[in-house]
Amino acid sequence: MTHELTATERAALAVEARAWAHAGAKEQAIVETTGLSTTRHYQLVNRLVDDRRAWEEQPVLMARLERLRTSRARGRRR
């Protein structure tokens, strides 16, 4: 049996799918849309990058988020 993403998980991905003019707008939308703090939001998104269910629903977005995570990890190792 396949479990679907929760409403909060879908909302977090919807926030990540949008283009933002400035960071403040995104941070406000995170709190308003998901009800999570920005820290918890990014922790959730990071977990979703490894979640098969998210990849099934949003493969293009998940590929972009995985590239960003990999790029940031490489930057921290330097």
pLDDT single digits (tens) 24-47: 999 999 999 999 999 999 999 999
pLDDT, residue 77, reads 74
- Percent of the chain residues past pLDDT 90, beyond the cut: 83
Provide the residue type at 47 as one letter.
R
- CA–CA distance, 21 with 40 (Å, rounded to integer): 22
In 3D space, the residue among 39, 48, 40 whose CA is nearest the CA of residue 17 turns out to be 48
What is the reported pTM? 0.87
pLDDT, residue 24, reads 92
